[in-house]
Amino acid sequence: MGHFRSFGNAGRVTGMGLGAVLAGLLAGCTKAAPPAAGFQAMPVQVQAVSLSSVPSSDSYVSTIKSRRSATIAPQVDGRLTKILVKSGDQVKSGQLLMEIDPLKQVATVESQQGTEQQLRAVFEYNQTDVARQKQLFEQGIISKQAYDQAVQSFENAKGALGSAAALTNTQKQQLAYYEVRAPFAGTVGDIPVHVGDYVSPSSPNPVTLTTIDENQELEAYIYVPTERAGQVKMGLPVDLMDTTGTVLARSSIYFVSPEVDNGLQGILAKAPIPRTAQRLRNGQMVNARITWSSDQTATVPVLAVTRIGGQTFVYVAAAKGAGYAAHQVSVTLGEPVGNVYPVLAGLRPGDRVILSGIQFLQEGVPVQPLGPAAGQAGN
């Protein structure tokens, strides 16, 4: 038992000696770590906040209407026998669109022409007779009363013939209404009727054959709320936009109604649409942006703005010691105008807003301003 204990003590001494030797070797091979280096300033593009002309505007729903738009309705009774166009066709002024069965009117014209011929024969007889009666009266063969009766018969025949001729001409003109023609050049709209339909201008609900719209002379109908009654005036700039905000045409107000629309409680303003705006059509609805005024306001580029928790921020290069550091500033912005935001609060003209590397920035990170605004560092 005693021999076993001596052997154990010797092992402990030997292990401690080896540990000390190893510790000494490790200590001799390990060098002290150098001190930590400071953060290097990150180069960033900056732009000084400056005053720019920012428009004050409102957008309203507008309807495009053609100054030349016609609803084609029948002017006579009858059945449609031909429809020579289809919706969307481009037609010329006077082009034949449809035909209504003219047989009844043709018969009326022919009957009237027969009546006219009969009356013409009576007129020609009385014309010859009055000349003969005149000679007899001058020779003293007949009395003046007989001659006056001949003159009266002639005048009656002459009046009846003139009336018949006028009525024949009217019936011929009426015959032209059985051919439906385009009143001007334009685009054919919807055609709700069919060949064989009976159409009439005197029905309780007048039939519409089609419409013709000319897209060359369009104007925007804008109803401005009465709250803006004191500001709406002729000459105000108008931008017509689609649902994505793309400007389709630019114009200006050239008509302001003197009355308020009772149904919409708005004031009608009209703006002509340039002929170059080919993407607009009659009846189309667009957004109309009216610019009321332009003011000098501080602006920042859209790329400089970040949103956190529903709030908007920008980073500015703020002087710190001998250099600059990123400083996050909460800002209040207006509606974007092009590629910039108007600044309502939070920045002042001259502040250097950081434009690049925003995703890598944190409060207090050293930065090195680059760009035109960097030259203002010493100001």
307-344 residue pLDDT tens: 888 888 989 988 888 888 888 889 888 877 777 888 88
Find out whether 185 and 93 touch, Cβ atoms under 8 Å: yes
- CATH code for the domain of 334: 2.40.420.20
Residue 2 domain-assigned (yes or no)? no
Domain range for 344:
43-52+298-376
pLDDT(160) > 90:
yes
Low-confidence winner among 118-127, 247-256, 312-321 (lowest mean pLDDT): 312-321
| DSSP alpha helix (H) spans, the chain | 2-29, 103-138, 144-176
Are residue 315 and residue 242 in the same domain, yes or no? no
Mean pLDDT on 285-301: 87
Mean pLDDT on 270-277: 84
Low-confidence winner among 26-30, 224-228, 305-309, 333-337 (lowest mean pLDDT): 26-30
pLDDT(11) > 60:
no
Are residue 134 and residue 259 in the same domain, yes or no? no
Are residue 340 and residue 260 in the same domain, yes or no? no
Are residue 84 and residue 198 in the same domain, yes or no? yes
Query: What rounded mean pLDDT belongs to the chain?
Result: 83
pLDDT of residue 15: 44
- Percentage of the chain beyond pLDDT 90 is 44
38, HSE (Cβ side, Cα atoms, 13 Å): 6
Find out whether 41 and 366 touch, Cβ atoms under 8 Å: yes
Low-confidence winner among 21-35, 136-150, 189-203, 282-296 (lowest mean pLDDT): 21-35
Mean pLDDT on 150-160: 93
Which of the pair, 1 or 114, is modelled with greater confidence?
Answer: 114
Are residue 243 and residue 201 in the same domain, yes or no? no
Decide: helix, strand or coil at residue 345: strand
Mean pLDDT on 143-165: 93
- CATH code for the domain of 142: 2.40.50.100
pLDDT tens by residue, 57-109: 889 999 999 888 899 999 999 999 999 999 999 999 999 999 999 999 899 99
pLDDT of residue 289: 93
pLDDT of residue 8: 41
pLDDT(256) > 90:
yes
Residue 21 domain-assigned (yes or no)? no
pLDDT of residue 37: 44
Q: Of 233, 261, 296, at which residue does a domain stop?
A: 296
Tell me how many domains the chain contains.
3
Decide: helix, strand or coil at residue 79: strand
Q: Predicted confidence band at 203 (pLDDT cuts at 50, 70, 90)? A: low
Distance CA 336, CA 281 (A): 28
The type of residue at 90 is Q
Residue 247 domain-assigned (yes or no)? yes
In the numeric block, which tokens belong to residue 96? 């034949």
